[in-house]
Amino acid sequence: MALILFDFDGVLANTLGDLLQFGQEVCDELGVQHIAMPDDLDSLEIMSFATYGRQLEVPEYLVDEFVRRCLEKFGEKKSPPDIFKGLDEVVRKLSARNTVGIITGNSSENVKAFLVEHRLDGFIRVIFGVDSPGSKARKISLAQSQLAAEGEAVIMVGDSVSDIHAAREASVKSIVVSWGHQSAETLIRAKPDTIVYSPHELLEVLE
């Protein structure tokens, strides 16, 4: 058994289009003259709504408002984002023998709505969202202390350089996926323990 912690955006949820759309809409609302592009996300050392806003040239005094409005737009969306094909099966299979949780820069409420939509709410033991205090590394350590037995493997599955750094800081293994918000080349430079290129490969590695 292991404790497997998934990032949300870009790993389970296909939110790239939403992030670009909502980031652009909020920039327009705040009068920020920047066109949101995929490269804005690929270049982030820390993947969060705050750093995304700064990358989009949002002035520092408006960053908190940028974050609030982006999260609000996710919450107001008529339906939760799509799940990457095959990830629902991966989560269900892994939860049969492991403890599965989610650690994300999105809100817990948005994640819960997504899980209900894709019938995965019964398979996730814990969600630490942006509404939970502390860094991602701190949340990994907290999940480990709450849910992992002594000596049990703990694995962070992410799609960003900051997921790799957080796993390293928390002294757990990192697996990154190639279908998320940062390119495989960017991820490889950050030296994850493993990179996978399909949900099937992810399942094989984790099993």
Which pLDDT score, from 0 to 100, does residue 200 have? 95
pLDDT at position 75: 85
For residue range 28-53, list pLDDT tens digits in order. Answer: 999 999 999 999 998 888 889 999 99
pTM of the model: 0.87
CB 121 within 8 A of CB 25: no
Q: Tokens at residue 178, please?
A: 């190639």
Whether the CB-CB separation of 48 and 166 falls below 8 Å is answered with no
Q: Give pLDDT tens digits for 148-184.
A: 988 899 999 999 999 999 999 999 999 999 999 999 9
Q: What integer pLDDT is reported at residue 207 of this predicted model?
A: 85
Supply φ then ψ for residue 147, to 5 degrees. Answer: -120, -20
